[in-house]
Structure 1
Amino acid sequence: MREGDIHGGTVSGETIRVVNPATGGLVGEVSAGGKDAVAAAVETAEAAQAGWAKRDPRERGKILGAGAQAIRAHLDALSALLTAEQGKPLHEARNEIQGCANVLEYYHSVSGSIRGECMPLSSYGLAYVLKEPVGVCGAIIPWNMPVLIYAWKVCPALVAGNSVVVKPASSTPLTTIRIAEIMEAAGLPHGVLQVVTGYGDAAGAALAATPSLGHLSFTGDTKTGGGISQAAGRNSVPVTLELGGSDAMIVCRDADLHAAAAGAVAGRFYNCGQTCTAVKRVIVDASVKEQFTRILCEKAAGITVGDGSRPGVGMGPMNNAQARDGICGMMDTCLSAGEGTLLCGGGIPDGAHYEKGLFYAPTVVADLPDDSLLLNSEVFGPVLPVISSDSLDDAIRIANSTRYGLGASVWTNDIKTAMISSSQIDAGVVWVNQHLKLPPDVPFGGMKASGTGRENGSGAFEPYLRSKTVLVKS
Structure 2
Amino acid sequence: MREEDMHAGDSSAETIRVLNPATGDLVGEVPAGGTAAVAAAVDAAETALAGWAKRDPRQRGKILGEGARIIRTQTDALAALLTAEQGKPLHEARNEILGCANVLEYYHSVSGSIRGECMPLSSYGLAYVLKEPVGVCGAIIPWNMPVLIFAWKVCPALVAGNSIVVKPASSTPLTTLRIAGMMEAAGLPQGVLQVVAGSGETAGAALAATPSLGHLSFTGDTKTGVAVSRAVGHTGVPVTLELGGSDAMIVCRDADLHAAAAGAVAGRFYNCGQTCTAVKRVIVDASVKEEFTRVLCEKTAGIVVGDGSRKGVGMGPLNNAPARDGICRMTDACLSGSEGTLLCGGGVPDGAHYEKGFFYEPTVVADLPDDSELLNTEVFGPVLPVISADSLDDAIRIANSTRYGLGASVWTRDIKTAMTASSQLDAGVVWVNQHLRLPPDVPFGGMKASGTGRENGSGAFEPYLRSKTVLVKA
TMscore range, shorter length: over 0.9
**1:245-298 deviation per Cα after TM superposition (whole angstroms, max 9, x unaligned):** 000000000000000000000000000000000000000000000000000000
Residue 467 of structure 1 is matched in structure 2 by 467
| Aligned-pair CA distance for 1:233 | 1.6
Alignment of 1:36-47 (within 5 A): 36-47=36-47
1:87 equivalent in alignment to 2:87: yes
Identity of aligned residues (%): 86
Alignment of 1:230-379 (within 5 A): 230-379=230-379
- In the alignment, the residues of structure 2 paired with residue 104 and residue 11 of structure 1 have an alpha-carbon distance, to the nearest angstrom, of 35
- In the alignment, the residues of structure 2 paired with residue 401 and residue 373 of structure 1 have an alpha-carbon distance, to the nearest angstrom, of 13
- In the alignment, the residues of structure 2 paired with residue 222 and residue 7 of structure 1 have an alpha-carbon distance, to the nearest angstrom, of 32
Alignment of 1:41-120 (within 5 A): 41-120=41-120
**1:169-217 deviation per Cα after TM superposition (whole angstroms, max 9, x unaligned):** 0000000000000000010000000000000000000000001000000
- What is the one-letter code of the residue matched to 1:239? V
- In the alignment, the residues of structure 2 paired with residue 13 and residue 464 of structure 1 have an alpha-carbon distance, to the nearest angstrom, of 34
The secondary structure found in structure 1 opposite 2:235 is coil
| Aligned-pair CA distance for 1:458 | 1.9
The secondary structure found in structure 2 opposite 1:459 is coil
Change (3 A) 1:269 1:150: same
What is the CA RMSD across the aligned residues, in angstroms?
1.3
- In the alignment, the residues of structure 2 paired with residue 110 and residue 300 of structure 1 have an alpha-carbon distance, to the nearest angstrom, of 40
CA contact 2:125–2:472 (8 Å) conserved in 1: yes
| Aligned-pair CA distance for 1:329 | 1.0
- In the alignment, the residues of structure 1 paired with residue 11 and residue 50 of structure 2 have an alpha-carbon distance, to the nearest angstrom, of 26
- In the alignment, the residues of structure 1 paired with residue 100 and residue 10 of structure 2 have an alpha-carbon distance, to the nearest angstrom, of 27
Alignment of 1:102-141 (within 5 A): 102-141=102-141
- In the alignment, the residues of structure 1 paired with residue 198 and residue 235 of structure 2 have an alpha-carbon distance, to the nearest angstrom, of 22
**1:332-374 deviation per Cα after TM superposition (whole angstroms, max 9, x unaligned):** 2111211100000001001111101100000000000000000
- In the alignment, the residues of structure 1 paired with residue 64 and residue 7 of structure 2 have an alpha-carbon distance, to the nearest angstrom, of 18
CA contact 1:5–1:197 (8 Å) conserved in 2: no
- In the alignment, the residues of structure 1 paired with residue 116 and residue 8 of structure 2 have an alpha-carbon distance, to the nearest angstrom, of 33
Change (3 A) 1:439 1:262: same
- In the alignment, the residues of structure 2 paired with residue 248 and residue 39 of structure 1 have an alpha-carbon distance, to the nearest angstrom, of 41
- What is the one-letter code of the residue matched to 1:89? P
- In the alignment, the residues of structure 1 paired with residue 255 and residue 248 of structure 2 have an alpha-carbon distance, to the nearest angstrom, of 15
- What is the one-letter code of the residue matched to 1:346? G
**1:422-464 deviation per Cα after TM superposition (whole angstroms, max 9, x unaligned):** 0000000000000000000000000000000000012000000
Residue 167 of structure 1 is matched in structure 2 by 167
**1:81-126 deviation per Cα after TM superposition (whole angstroms, max 9, x unaligned):** 0000000000000000000000000000000000001001111111
- In the alignment, the residues of structure 2 paired with residue 214 and residue 351 of structure 1 have an alpha-carbon distance, to the nearest angstrom, of 51
Change (3 A) 1:390 1:13: same
Change (3 A) 1:12 1:244: farther
Residue 224 of structure 1 is matched in structure 2 by 224
Change (3 A) 1:177 1:12: farther
1:195 equivalent in alignment to 2:195: yes
User: TM-score of the superposition, structure 2-length normalised?
Assistant: 0.98
Residue 142 of structure 2 is matched in structure 1 by 142
User: TM-score of the superposition, structure 1-length normalised?
Assistant: 0.98
**1:398-429 deviation per Cα after TM superposition (whole angstroms, max 9, x unaligned):** 00000000000000000000000000000000
CA contact 2:126–2:471 (8 Å) conserved in 1: yes
CA contact 1:49–1:136 (8 Å) conserved in 2: yes
- What is the one-letter code of the residue matched to 2:83? T
| Aligned-pair CA distance for 1:6 | 3.1
Name structure 2 gaps, 5 residues minimum.
none
CA contact 1:410–1:432 (8 Å) conserved in 2: yes
Residue 153 of structure 2 is matched in structure 1 by 153
Change (3 A) 1:458 1:223: same
CA contact 1:297–1:344 (8 Å) conserved in 2: yes
- In the alignment, the residues of structure 2 paired with residue 361 and residue 13 of structure 1 have an alpha-carbon distance, to the nearest angstrom, of 39
| Aligned-pair CA distance for 1:10 | 8.0
CA contact 1:5–1:195 (8 Å) conserved in 2: no
The secondary structure found in structure 1 opposite 2:459 is helix
CA contact 1:7–1:196 (8 Å) conserved in 2: no
- In the alignment, the residues of structure 1 paired with residue 168 and residue 410 of structure 2 have an alpha-carbon distance, to the nearest angstrom, of 34
- In the alignment, the residues of structure 2 paired with residue 77 and residue 27 of structure 1 have an alpha-carbon distance, to the nearest angstrom, of 14
- What is the one-letter code of the residue matched to 1:183? M
The secondary structure found in structure 1 opposite 2:461 is helix
Residue 389 of structure 2 is matched in structure 1 by 389
**1:312-349 deviation per Cα after TM superposition (whole angstroms, max 9, x unaligned):** 00000000011111111101211121110000000100
| Aligned-pair CA distance for 1:5 | 5.3
- In the alignment, the residues of structure 1 paired with residue 50 and residue 86 of structure 2 have an alpha-carbon distance, to the nearest angstrom, of 36
CA contact 2:6–2:31 (8 Å) conserved in 1: no
- What is the one-letter code of the residue matched to 2:207? L
Mean CA deviation greater in 388-397 or 323-332: 323-332
CA contact 1:134–1:214 (8 Å) conserved in 2: yes
- In the alignment, the residues of structure 1 paired with residue 137 and residue 40 of structure 2 have an alpha-carbon distance, to the nearest angstrom, of 14
The secondary structure found in structure 2 opposite 1:254 is coil
Change (3 A) 1:54 1:12: farther
- In the alignment, the residues of structure 2 paired with residue 11 and residue 472 of structure 1 have an alpha-carbon distance, to the nearest angstrom, of 58
Residue 450 of structure 1 is matched in structure 2 by 450
- What is the one-letter code of the residue matched to 1:137? C
CA contact 2:245–2:450 (8 Å) conserved in 1: yes
CA contact 2:7–2:30 (8 Å) conserved in 1: no
- In the alignment, the residues of structure 2 paired with residue 3 and residue 341 of structure 1 have an alpha-carbon distance, to the nearest angstrom, of 48
Residue 35 of structure 1 is matched in structure 2 by 35
- What is the one-letter code of the residue matched to 1:58? R
Mean CA deviation greater in 71-80 or 332-341: 332-341
